[in-house]
Chains A and B, each alone.
Chain A
């Protein structure tokens, strides 16, 4: 019972982020914006991690750059634009929905429909038994 309680406490522990206290902005509102932007920017030298979550050097540099841009008065869109101009769409964790990325966004739905279609054919062929 006691063990279970401690396991439960572990579940309550916060997700560990890579942001160093020294990187944080003194203004909590600006810092919150920086955190949100960082969570939408890909760590380019990692596997599927955002820069808020990564301890890679380049991720740290980009986190500081995001904060520098915010402090300089950039809007969120300007910060994204600044990074995107240098690293392309790939740096965004969610690629933008445009004509040429439509298939990418539709792929999971298409795969699901194909799977359902195959399942339907299979069940019907086997007489639903």
Chain B
């Protein structure tokens, strides 16, 4: 009986560790203490409409690919996307936006990364959903894919607009 104990412990741990995967949880969704709180002062977001805040940088390769998807979301949901340009320079930003097609209503430069810390970011890109009262409702770390847009952002924005 006793000799099966290690196997039993192994199976128990395996099930415990696999549980989040079996539930189909997206590992890019990070429980951030920012969720449910008022959005930081910069970038400035007008109240009355839900919006997306996208933290990006011209030097960030995976940020490039999500720009077109962000643009589509902004257009289809008729909401604004506000950019926080993390540790970047104005010339590099200009070049980046003209290459990717600018999805942003407004871009706030964050040259020393201090605003990024206020949003609690650990890297770029990160995208936040802010509701019409300026409360952060969702955070996604990593580039927005079409799948994330369709399954998470579109339904969420549609609900927040009501």
Contacts from A to B (Cβ < 8 Å): 44-45, 57-58, 61-62, 65, 84-88, 118, 121-122, 125
List the 3 shortest-distance A-B pairs measured between CB atoms, nearest first.
A86-B120, A88-B33, A44-B122
For A121, the chain B residues whose CB sits under 8 A away are 2
Contact string against A for B residues 1-15, beta-carbon threshold 8 Å, 1 for contact and 0 otherwise:
010010000000000
Given known pairs A118-B5, A122-B2, the reply for A65 and B33 (CB within 8 Å) is no
Given known pairs A44-B122, A45-B123, the reply for A62 and B33 (CB within 8 Å) is no
Interface of B is mostly: loop
Which listed residue (B31, B32, B117, B120) contacts A61, Cβ 8 A?
A: B117
Interface of A is mostly: helix
Bound complex: CA A85 to CA B33 (Å): 7
Given known pairs A45-B123, A118-B5, A125-B2, the reply for A86 and B31 (CB within 8 Å) is no
Given known pairs A61-B113, A125-B2, the reply for A86 and B122 (CB within 8 Å) is no
For A122, the chain B residues whose CB sits under 8 A away are 2
For B5, the chain A residues whose CB sits under 8 A away are 118
Q: Nearest-CB distance from A1 to chain B (Å)?
A: 48
Q: Nearest-CB distance from B82 to chain A (Å)?
A: 19
Contact string against A for B residues 102-114, beta-carbon threshold 8 Å, 1 for contact and 0 otherwise:
0000000000111
Q: Nearest-CB distance from A125 to chain B (Å)?
A: 7
Contacts from B to A (Cβ < 8 Å): 2, 5, 31-34, 87, 112-114, 117-120, 122-123
Question: What are 8 residue pairs bridging A and B, where the CB atoms are less than 8 Å apart in the complex?
Answer: A61-B113, A61-B114, A62-B117, A65-B117, A85-B33, A86-B119, A87-B122, A125-B2
Bound complex: CA A85 to CA B2 (Å): 47
Additional A-B contact list (13), CB under 8 Å, known A86-B117, A87-B33, A121-B2: A44-B122, A45-B122, A57-B87, A58-B113, A61-B113, A65-B114, A84-B33, A85-B33, A86-B34, A86-B118, A88-B33, A88-B120, A125-B2
Report the nearest B residue to A62, measured CB to CB: B117
For A84, the chain B residues whose CB sits under 8 A away are 33
Q: Nearest-CB distance from A47 to chain B (Å)?
A: 13
Q: Nearest-CB distance from B2 to chain A (Å)?
A: 6
Report the nearest B residue to A88, measured CB to CB: B33
Q: Nearest-CB distance from B5 to chain A (Å)?
A: 6
